[in-house]
Amino acid sequence: MPEVTFLEALRQGMWEEMERDERVFILGEDVGPYGGAFKVTDGFVKRFGEARVIDTPISEAAIVGAAAGAAHMGMRPVAEMQFIDFISCAYDMLTNYVATARYRAGLATPMVVRGPCGGYVRGGPFHSQNPEAAFLHTPGLKIVYPATARDAKGLIKSSIRDEDPVLYLEHKWLYRRIKEQLPEGEEILTPIGKARLAREGKHLSIITYGATVWKSLEAAEQLEKDDGLSIEVLDLRTLVPMDDAAIMQTVQKTNKVLIVHEDTRTGGIAGEIAARINERAFEWLDGPIMRVTAHDVPLPYAPTLEDFVLPQTDDIVKAARWLAAY
Amino acid sequence: MTSRAAPALPAGPATQPAPPPPPPAALSRDQLVEIYYYLRLTRTLEERLVALYRQSKVIGGLFRSLGQEGESVASAYALDRGRHQDILSPLIRNLGSLLVMGAKPVEILRQYMAKAESPTHGRELNVHFNDLERGYLGQISHLGDMIPVMAGIALTFKLRGEARVGLVYIGDGGTSTGTFHEGLNLAAVQRLPLVVIGEYNHWAYSTPPAKQFAVRDLAEKAKGYGIPAVTVDGNDVIAVYEATKLAVDRARRGKGVHFIEVKTYRRKGHAEHDDQHYVPKEDLERWAQENDPVDRYVQRLLGADVVSEADLKDIDDRVRVEIDQATDACVDEPLPQAETALPGVYVDPPAADTLWFKAL
C-alpha cells in the first residue's frame, strides 16, 4: 500500500469524486493553473478543464453564494477558501443563506466549503484560525474536521456526496506531516457524524479533534510511560452532528474527561461537549470536566508567543495528570 | 457626477409623451392584456393584504409595491416562463414578478398569514418562498445575497450549455452591500447569462439616494464592472419590457451580464407600519397623480385602441373574484402544528431533538 500524506489523501478524494460525478466542480481563488495556495488542486484544471475548476475573484461571499445557487440546481460544488480565516467574509452567506435554505424553503444545497485551518505554523492572526465554533452554532451546516489521512480522504468524499452543506476543515499542520498507508482501489468513505476511538484507555478520556488528536496521542503515550496511566483518546472527526453516543460511551468507561481543542476557550466546542456530558452522564463523572484549549487571545506570530497561547503536548500531559489524580 | 446632491427625480409628466405611441409590435394583443391582468392582480392582491393586515390576520409586516408594479411585471414578463425555463429572484416589492412567474395569490396569502399549507409551511414570511421549476427563488432579508446565488444559478446554465437566463432584482439601497458587488463582478468575469434589475425607487427604508451613493445612476456602478447598463423609466411598462427583453435575449445568446436600472418611486412606507413622514408629500402626490405605472399603461392601451374600458373592467372584475376566492380558500386555515418546527434542518438527521423540558 502506498504511503500518502494528509494532503495527498484529500486530493485523491476530490479527484475520485470529480471522476465519478460530473456534477462536482471546484471554485475558489488560485485553484486553477496555480493549483491552490497549498497545491491541493494541483493538476485538476489539466484533467477536468476550466469549466470544472474555476478561478474566482477574491470574493468569498460570491464564491459561497454562487456555490449555493449551483447546488440548488443539482450541481455539487466544492468551494475553497484559500485560508479558512477568510470564511468570515462569507459568514453571512453561509449562516443566513446556505444553512437555512433547506429548513426555510425546502431548498437542497449540497455543497462543500473547505479550506486550510489551524496554527502551529507561525501564520499569525489571519492564517491560523479555527472557525468551527462560529458555525457550530448554526443549525443547517455540518462540520467535519479530519485528523488522519484516511479520514481526510473518506470525509471529503462523504462531504461531497452529502445532501446538505458541509464545512470541511483541513489542518495545514497535518497536510504534509501526517502520512498513512492507504489501499489503492478501495473506496474510502468515512461516515459523517461518527467519532473514531484513536486510542483505548481506562483511566481518563481525552475528547478532541484535528491537530490536537496527535498532540493528545503523544501525551497519552508519555503518560503511559511515565505515570502508568491508561488514557483513551476520542477523535470526534465530525463536530456537527456530534457523536453523542461515542462521547457518553467513553465517559461511562473512564469517568474522567479532558476536552482538548486548539481553538480559543470561551464559547469553544469544549463548552458544548461539557454541557452535553453534564446533561446525559453527570452521575458517571468522578471529577470535573476540564478543558485544554488556546488562550483567549488572537493568535500571535512570534514562536514564543504562539507556542504559549496554543495547547501543547506538555500542557495536555500536565492537565491529564492533574485530572487523573483528582 | 459625484456630487452628493440628490439626483433630479425623473419628472412624471415629461416622461409621458402625448399622444401615446402605439404598443410595440412584438407583443400581441393577448400579451398586452395579460400584462394588464398581472398589474391589476398585483395591486388588488396587495389591497386585500392590507385589509387582512388591519384585521390582524397577517402575522408579520406587510410590504407594498404600490407604484412599482409596472417594472416588476414587465421585467418578469420578458423571461421565458414555464417548467424549467428562466429563473428570477424577486425582492419584497416584486410581488408582480412572482405572479408573472406563476406563483398563486393563495400562496402569497398563506405566506403572509403563516398558514400550515403555505409554501414554506409557516417557516418563512411573505414573498420568501421559491419554486425553481416554475422559475423563482425567494430572497433572504440580507440584501445583495441573491446576486451571488443567482450568479451560481446562471453559472449552472452556462456549465450545462442550457439556453436559460437568470434575472435578479436589487434596490438602490441594496447596491451598497458587499455581496451585490462581489456577485456582480463574479458574474461579469464569468460572462454569465444574468440580468440584474436595479430598482431606483428613491427610498431604502428612510434613506434617500444621496445618503446611499455618490453616483447619479445605479447604471454607473454596473458599468464599472464592464457590464452593459441602461437606465429606463421604470413606470413605463413597455419601456421596461423592451429593455429587459433585449437584455434577456442577449444574455441567452452568451453576451454575459446585463444591468437595467429602472427609475421608479416607492409610494408607501418601507412596510405598512411606516408612516413615511420623511417623504415630501408633494412628491408622493405627484408620482401618484402623474406617474402611476398602471394608469399610464391603461392610457397607452386605450390610446392605441388595443382594448376598451369595458375590457379592462372585465379583467378588474375577474381579478376581484380570483382574489376573493383565494382569500376564502385560506383565511380560516390553521397555523402549523408546533411540533412541525423540528424536521428538515438536514436530510440526516431528519429532525432536531425535542428538548427535555418539553416532556416535563
Same domain, A219 and A268: yes
* Residue B225 located in a structural domain: yes
Distance from CA of B39 to the nearest CA of A (A): 26
Say how many C-beta atoms besides its own lie within 10 A of residue B350's C-beta: 10
- Per-residue confidence (pLDDT) for residue A1, from 0 to 100: 83
* Contact flag B124-A105 (C-beta cutoff 8 Å): yes
* Contact flag A97-B140 (C-beta cutoff 8 Å): yes
Structural domain boundaries, residue A54? 3-181
* Residue A187 located in a structural domain: no
The SS3 call for residue B262 is strand
Chain B residues near residue A73 by CB distance under 8 angstroms = 132, 152-153, 156
Same domain, A110 and A155: yes
Which domain CATH number covers A243?
Answer: 3.40.50.920
Which domain CATH number covers A161?
Answer: 3.40.50.970
Please, which contacts does B225-229 make with residues 24 or more away whose CB atoms are closer than 8 Å?
A: B225/B181, B225/B184, B225/B185, B225/B188, B225/B257, B226/B188, B227/B184, B227/B188, B227/B196, B227/B256, B227/B257, B227/B258, B227/B259, B228/B255, B228/B256, B228/B258, B228/B259, B229/B258, B229/B259, B229/B260, B229/B261
One-letter amino acid identity for A255?
Answer: N
Strands (E), A118-218: 142-144, 166-171, 179-181, 196-199, 204-208
Pairing of strands A142-144, A179-181: unpaired
When CB atoms are compared, the residue of B137, B151, B347 closest to A62 is B151
* Residue B94 located in a structural domain: yes
Give contacts of B 109-168 with A, CB under 8 A. Answer: 120, 123-124, 128-130, 132, 137-138, 140-142, 145, 147-156, 159
Strand order in the sheet with B194-200: B87-89, B166-171, B194-200, B258-263, B229-233
* Residue A189 located in a structural domain: no
Domain boundary among A181, A206, A239: A181
Measured in whole angstroms, the distance separating CA A34 from the mean position of its chain's CA atoms is: 25
- What values do phi and psi take at B72, rounded to 5? -65, -55
- Catalytically active residues of A, by annotation: 127
Same domain, A33 and A129: yes
Element (H, E) at A253: helix A244-254
Same domain, A229 and A283: yes
Domain boundary among A123, A153, A181: A181
User: Both ends of chain B: CA-CA distance in Å?
Assistant: 66
Structural domain boundaries, residue B164? 13-359
Looking at the 3D structure of chain B, how many domains does it have?
Answer: 1
- Per-residue confidence (pLDDT) for residue B5, from 0 to 100: 44
User: Both ends of chain A: CA-CA distance in Å?
Assistant: 44
Same domain, A148 and A261: no
pLDDT in single tens digits along all 360 residues of chain B: 334 444 444 444 444 445 555 556 589 999 999 999 999 999 999 999 999 999 999 999 999 999 999 999 999 999 999 999 999 999 999 999 999 999 999 999 999 999 999 999 999 999 999 999 999 999 999 999 999 999 999 999 999 999 999 999 999 999 999 999 999 999 999 999 999 999 999 999 999 999 999 999 999 999 999 999 999 999 999 999 999 999 999 999 999 999 999 999 999 999 999 999 999 999 999 999 999 999 999 999 999 999 999 999 999 999 999 999 999 999 999 999 999 999 999 999 999 999 999 999
* Cβ pair A175, A211 in contact under 8 A: no
* Residue A133 located in a structural domain: yes
Rounded average pLDDT over A61-80: 98
* Residue B1 located in a structural domain: no
3-class SS letters over A179-201: EEECCCCCCCCCCCCCCEEEECC
* Contact flag A75-B156 (C-beta cutoff 8 Å): yes
* Residue B2 located in a structural domain: no
Chain B residues near residue A242 by CB distance under 8 angstroms = none
- Single out the residue of A241, A247, A245, A256 nearest to residue A323, CA to CA: A256
User: Taking the CA atoms of chain B, what radius of gyration do you get in angstroms?
Assistant: 21
When CB atoms are compared, the residue of B124, B150, B352 closest to A69 is B150
Distance from CA of A234 to the nearest CA of B (A): 22
Say how many C-beta atoms besides its own lie within 10 A of residue A134's C-beta: 17
Same domain, A287 and A213: yes
Same domain, A130 and A16: yes
Which domain CATH number covers B95?
Answer: 3.40.50.970
Domain boundary among A122, A151, A181: A181
- B179 shares contact with chain A (CB less than 8 Å): yes
Same domain, A176 and A205: no
Same domain, A86 and A234: no
Q: Model confidence over A287-311: pLDDT tens digits?
A: 999 999 999 999 999 999 999 999 9
When CB atoms are compared, the residue of B130, B141, B153 closest to A73 is B153
Give the C-alpha separation, A70 to B137, whole Å: 12
* Contact flag B148-A73 (C-beta cutoff 8 Å): no
Same domain, A14 and A109: yes
List alpha helices for B78-145, DSSP H.
Answer: 95-100, 105-112
Task: Write the DSSP symbol of residue B136.
Answer: B
Scanning the structure block, which residue is given the C-alpha cell 479527484? A15
- What values do phi and psi take at B124, rounded to 5? -130, 165
- Per-residue confidence (pLDDT) for residue B24, from 0 to 100: 63
The x, y and z cell numbers of residue A66, run together, are 454562487
Chain A residues near residue B348 by CB distance under 8 angstroms = 163-164, 193
* Residue B5 located in a structural domain: no
Chain B residues near residue A167 by CB distance under 8 angstroms = none
> Dihedral of CA B81/B87/B93/B95: which sign?
positive
* Cβ pair A306, A119 in contact under 8 A: yes
Q: Model confidence over A74-131: pLDDT tens digits?
A: 999 999 999 999 999 999 999 999 999 999 999 999 999 999 999 999 999 999 999 9
Same domain, A264 and A314: yes
The x, y and z cell numbers of residue B295, run together, are 394608469
* Residue A228 located in a structural domain: yes
* Contact flag A69-B156 (C-beta cutoff 8 Å): yes
The DSSP line for B268-325 is S-SSTT---TTS-HHHHHHHHHH--HHHHHHHHHHHTTSS-HHHHHHHHHHHHHHHHH
Task: Write the DSSP symbol of residue A94.
Answer: I
Residues paired with B221 in a beta bridge: none
Show which residues on chain A lie within 8 Å of chain B, measured between beta carbons.
25, 51-52, 54, 56-57, 59-75, 77, 92-93, 96-97, 100, 102-107, 139-140, 142, 163-164, 193, 241, 279
* Contact flag A105-B128 (C-beta cutoff 8 Å): yes
- Single out the residue of B240, B224, B220 nearest to residue B232, CA to CA: B240
Same domain, A14 and A156: yes
> Dihedral of CA A263/A268/A271/A273: which sign?
negative
* Cβ pair A90, A81 in contact under 8 A: yes
Pairing of strands A238-240, A142-144: antiparallel
* Cβ pair A285, A277 in contact under 8 A: yes
Looking at the 3D structure of chain A, how many domains does it have?
Answer: 2
Which chain A residue lies closest to B180 (C-alpha atoms)? A62
Tell me whether 0.90 is exceeded by the ipTM.
yes
User: Does A220 score more than 90 pLDDT?
Assistant: yes
